[in-house]
Structure 1
Amino acid sequence: MSHLFPTYQRWEIEPEHASGSIIHGKDGRSYLDFTSGIGVCNLGHRPEAVERAIKEQLGLFWHVSNLFPQSIQEEAAEKLAKAAELDYVFFANSGAEANEAAIKLARKATGKKKIITFLQSFHGRTFAGMAATGQEKIKQGYGRMLETFVHLPFNDLEALKNELDDDTAAVMIEIVQGEGGIHVVHKEFIENTEKLCAENGVLLIVDEIQTGIGRTGKPFAFQHFGISPDIITVAKGLGNGLPIGATIGKAQLAEHFGPGSHGSTFGGNPISTAAACAVMDIIFKSEFLEEVTAKGDALFQLLNQELGSLEVVKEIRGIGLMVGIELTVAAQDYLTKLRESGLIALPAGEKVIRLLPPLNVTHEDLQKAVFKLKEILINQTITA
């Protein structure tokens, strides 16, 4: 009997050890991991530089609380702020906490209450995160949600224009809806959203929990569109497996997050911030990001070439190394068969196979993954 609450639908693979793009299971088999811990292990499992940074900090101190100045926090904050072209950072432990902080900051800074988000979005499982999320299945069984969250159709500019009013504190958006099915924001929509926010005194919050830290070939996905959000949130890939999240904002917001306004006992933990510094030193280099873009282009080309004509494949979409393959039928049986074949992938909604390989994945592993996908999609379609 397990003493864990059954909150997760566990897979049949129990990892024994892992390195790079490979998970070695207790069943004696090796698996090509195209989940990266759900977009967390962007440098693969146990990258040497990150492991060294963790061990070095372990030998100094593990926790002292945020009452103490910590140079490792300052270093991580500077790297994040510089990469995001913003000014201030609040460290949390997860994406949900980062989004919680962003929502609090937006309401406090503007004195307004309403937050506009979008259908199919996902912003976490706290009460504010659930309320912000545009998926009813996340909210079932929990009673009345927090008020003043409004969900609009994604990429619908007229709906946004009609909903903005004097009580709107912020528009909160994902550049690529990850859990919602790998839907990419339209350029015209996000540009006009930024403009409308500026004209109406509304803050623009970009949720980069899954898209940030190089996943799309830029430090942050919003940088593909030339916009300047007021607040962005990051987590997942920032610590490459160590728990860390961050809310990053413009300078004028600092006065609203002074002493006593918000906090987190473990936020900015020195072990996690040491890992984050090592991650950013690698991923934010221009040559590394150029490689991510090149690999993403190669993956899309190969996927379209090998899978695009299959009857079961409806659409292939995404940016960089964040890919969704929408099927005409439910994806779950295919995902099970893929694991049995040695490739681990994720769902994104009912009909989408999501690929989130490590950003330093080899071209050989990308090819292996595509041909395994092709084999399973063809064979399962024939036997379905």
Structure 2
Amino acid sequence: MSQDKVTRQTFDEIMVPNYAPSQFIPVKGEGSRVWDQEGKDYIDFAGGIAVNSLGHAHPALVEALTEQAKKLWHVSNTFTNEPILKLAQQLIESTFAERVFFCNSGAEANEAALKLARKYARDHFGPEKNEIISFTNSFHGRTLFTVSVGGQPKYSEDFAPLPGGIHHATYNDLASVRALISERTCAVIVEPVQGEGGVLPADPGFLEGLRMLCDKNKALLIFDEVQTGVGRTGELYAYMHHNVTPDILSTAKALGGGFPIGGILTTSNIAASLVPGTHGTTYGGNPLAGAVAGKLLEIVNTEEVLEGVKKRHHLFVEGLNAINHRYNVFTQIRGAGLLIGCVLNDTFKDKAKAFTTAAEKEQLMVLVAGPNVVRFAPSLVITEEEIAEGLARFERAVASVANS
């Protein structure tokens, strides 16, 4: 087999078939534009699934990575390193956190959060306090533990038997949580905006109600901010929009701007349960990730960028509403900041993929969030010109689906 030329067909020939990627292969990116093997340009409204928070090849991130790569790549957690300690300091100074743990992905971050919650409960209340409450249509990762906690059976049912002690309440329904929570509950895990479940924001008072129920039952409240964190909603973390502070917060995706990194934020009291030997990761907290994420956080955690996200939200919503007015395909446009979902009406039920395929033909990258929601998660600093051009391409895609 020649290794000189690879094509999309190469994927079908040699890769495990758990993905069905688009028919073009991106080879270069700059800002919110991507070019494929043939040199065609695409506007990126997908952001690597809410990862490329500063777009592609941001000069400051390239410089941070390059400079660190000349110094130190990896030492394992037998040692610590300067970039990761500086990043931890940044996160602590900017959030409720007193302690930070780093890993490589959102799934790993949620795995750590859930393990910590059970360990903390065992340390303070005994082994019988081990139950976890999550929500239907939630998504927390692809490990066996996190896929079990996630509330979408299609992702877990093929891998039974699953870990026990997990219950699923109805999102935005405090009564359903009240019916499940008890003295055996060690944690409630929730997304402030359900991402993969359809870009569904928490109703006013819902997260505050969870905080009260957790306090009453001595359970920890975990916010999964893998998709909503690091400026995505217009605040550094989405909990800052609400009158509530979690006990543990998971973060990943946008934190590295495309370089793999994840982590959990928590308090000193809770963190004390993860003593040496209880949890770990070979690559987590490596110097390359620390350098890139530190520079990204320095840029994103500014009034200019965070206010810019709110402004761009309105540009997207106005543009999408205008498109919907002309083609009548969505029942609702919802979300927060630059995490936006367009809910398809009954005429186009289960056809979200048709819209992303049509967008691809118009040289636009967009996402789905389930079969009935088209999702947008672009760079936080995407230009107004790129938004306008991308929406024009999306309108052509909508027209092709609506008129087919």
Alignment partners' CA distance in 2, 1:102 and 1:58: 30
> Contact (CA 8 Å) 1:215, 1:320: kept in 2 or not?
yes
Q: 2:179 aligns with which of 128, 139, 162?
A: 162
Match of 1:243 in 2: 260
Matches within 5 A, 1:18-37: 18-37=29-48
| 1:326-345 deviation per Cα after TM superposition (whole angstroms, max 9, x unaligned) | 11221111211111101110
Does structure 1 conserve the Cα–Cα contact (< 8 Å) formed by 2:44 and 2:365? yes
Q: Does 1:134 align with 2:155?
A: no
Distance 1:312-1:61 versus aligned 2 partners, 3 A rule: same
Q: Is the 8 A contact 2:362 2:394 kept in 1?
A: no
Matched residue, 2:170: 153
Secondary structure of 1:242 counterpart:
coil
TM-score by length of 2: 0.93
Instruction: Please give the per-residue CA displacement for 1:116-168, whole angstroms capped at 9, x wherever unaligned.
Output: 00001000010111111100110132121110111111101111111110110
Q: Measure how far apart 1:251 and its partner are.
A: 1.9
Structure 1's 308 and 158: CA in aligned 2 closer, same or farther, altered over 3 A? farther
1:43 to 35, 54, 58: 54
Aligned-pair identity in percent equals 37
Matched, 1:286 2:303: yes
Q: TM-score, normalised by structure 1?
A: 0.97
Indicate which of 257, 266, 276 corresponds to 2:274: 257
Alignment of structure 1 residues 70-85 onto 2, 5 Å: 70-85=81-96
| Structure 2: gaps of 5 or more residues | 1-9, 123-128
Q: Deviations over 1:206-227 (max 9, x none)?
A: 0000110101100011111121
The partner residue of 2:389 within 368, 373, 377 is 368
Q: How do residues 190-201 of structure 1 correspond to structure 2 at under 5 angstroms?
A: 190-201=207-218
Whether the aligned pair in 2 keeps the contact of 1:308 and 1:315 (CA below 8 Å) is: no
Coordinate RMSD, CA, aligned: 1.2
SS in 2 for 1:41: coil
Q: Distance in 2 between matches of 1:279 and 1:381?
A: 40
Query: What is the correspondence of 1:1-384 to structure 2 with a 5 Å cutoff?
Result: 2-111=13-122, 112-308=129-325, 310-328=327-345, 329=348, 330-383=351-404
- Tell me which amino acid in the other structure corresponds to 1:26: Q
Pairwise CA distance, 1:64: 0.9
Equivalent in the alignment of 2:4: none
Q: Is the 8 A contact 1:308 1:316 kept in 2?
A: no
CA drift of 1:78 comes to 1.2
Letter of the 2:333 counterpart: I
Give the letter aligned to residue 6 of structure 1. Answer: P
| 5+ residue gaps, structure 1 | none
In structure 1, C-alpha distance between the alignment counterparts of 2:316 and 2:80, rounded to whole Å: 44
Judge conservation of contact 1:315–1:325 (CA < 8 Å) in 2. yes
**CA distance in structure 2 between the aligned counterparts of 1:24 and 1:321, rounded to whole angstroms:** 23
Letter in 2 for 1:81: I
Local SS of the residue matching 1:256? coil
The CA deviation at 1:303 is: 1.7
